[in-house]
Amino acid sequence: MKIILLFLILISVTGNCYSQNNALKASYPFDLETLKTLSDNRVQYDSVAPMYLAGGFTYVNTKSKLPVVKKKFEEAYPFVRDFGLVKVDGKYGIINRHGDFVVKPTFPQFQLVWNVNYGVWLDIDRYFSFIQGKLIYEPEILCSEPAGPQLYCYKQGKKFGLIFKHDTIKKPIFDSIYANTDRIAIVSLSGKIGIIDHTGKVLNKLNYNSYAGPTGYKGILKFALKQKDTWHYFNQNKKLFESKFQPAFSDGVFLVRVDKRYNYLDEEGNLALSKNYKWISNYGDIAINENDKIVFLLKGKKVLTYY
């Protein structure tokens, strides 16, 4: 019979994970996806952040909320390392932490590039590297060589199987493979769910009844398995804690659904934020509150209103 290797097994999971997308407003005077991406990659608990003040964006000290940059911008995004993407008179440029332009705002558009040379394309042949801190002409974007997976998934007929390192094959007996890395796979058999590692060992008995987490292939996998009324949270094959809270997963923090809003769990399974939000970014850096204001989530459960 024909065997099809699957690097991405996409399984529909219903009833376990909630989508936050309906919490987002139709539009903001900036690009929300760019804000999310750059927030996820800024220095953790950076003492400087962008903020909308008196008709424009500027950069402020997160404690005093006083401006540290005199200029105002139409758009301003978090510093990545020592550089920030801004918009002036409809054009984009790059400033340093002193507010000086290292790339003048002459570019009508941009595109983020997130790999080993992460930065931003400003036009077809000019690219600003946040790592090198300069504008590069016709750069050679490097791609790291992928590591060879030690665990593959395949489908034969209506069943799924696994191929482990050294080409050991697990027969296609599983009803679903929810997600896998090159070290573990989350599988279901006869309505029960569990974890199998890259050697073929069952790490947790197939005694869970629900899965919540990403689907398909992931480099690192954070997920939860439900047993009766309790969710068991995992990072890779390590169980972290148990919780009654309903998962609402991202690739970063453990988002949970609380009273029709969202929060996230700390490393001990406790709610990390002092209040719940309509929406929280993947890594818990920004959130949308009940008034549709976007806030930075700072150290010590403090917040700074971005817009």
Residue 25 forms part of a structural domain? no
Total count of domains within the chain: 2
Q: Are residues 182 and 75 both part of a single domain? A: no
Q: Are residues 182 and 64 both part of a single domain? A: no
Q: For residue 26, what pLDDT is reported?
A: 53
Domain range spanning residue 61? 42-79+82-132
The structure's pTM equals 0.78
pLDDT tens per residue, range 210-255: 999 888 888 778 899 999 999 999 998 899 999 999 898 777 889 9
Q: Are residues 176 and 274 both part of a single domain? A: yes
Q: For residue 87, what pLDDT is reported?
A: 98
The 151-156 sheet, strands edge to edge: 4-6, 151-156, 159-164, 169-174
Query: Is 118 in contact with 130 (CB distance < 8 Å)?
Result: yes
Residue 213 forms part of a structural domain? yes
Q: For residue 249, what pLDDT is reported?
A: 74
Question: Within the chain, which residues score under 70 in pLDDT?
Answer: 1-26, 114-117, 138-150, 165-167
Q: For residue 221, what pLDDT is reported?
A: 86
Residue 47 forms part of a structural domain? yes
Q: For residue 144, what pLDDT is reported?
A: 41
Q: For residue 23, what pLDDT is reported?
A: 57
CA dihedral 178, 179, 185, 190 (to 10 degrees): 0
- SS3 for the chain is CCCEEECCCCCCCCCCCCCCHHHCCCCCCCCHHHHHHHHHCCCCCCCEEEEEECCEEEEEECCCCCECCCCCECEECCCECCEEEEEECCEEEEEECCCCEEEEEEECCCEEECCCCCEEEEECCEEEECCCCEEEECCCCCCCCCCCCCEEEEEECCEEEEEEHHHCEEEEEECEEEEECCCEEEEEECCEEEEEECCCCEEEEEEECEEECCCEECCCCEEEEEECCEEEEEECCEEEEEECCEECCCCCCEEEEECCEEEEECCCCCECCCCCECEECCCCCEEECCCCCEEEECHHHCEEECC
Residue 22 forms part of a structural domain? no
Query: Is 31 in contact with 75 (CB distance < 8 Å)?
Result: yes
Q: Are residues 154 and 125 both part of a single domain? A: no
Q: For residue 19, what pLDDT is reported?
A: 58
Q: Are residues 124 and 154 both part of a single domain? A: no
Q: Are residues 220 and 267 both part of a single domain? A: yes
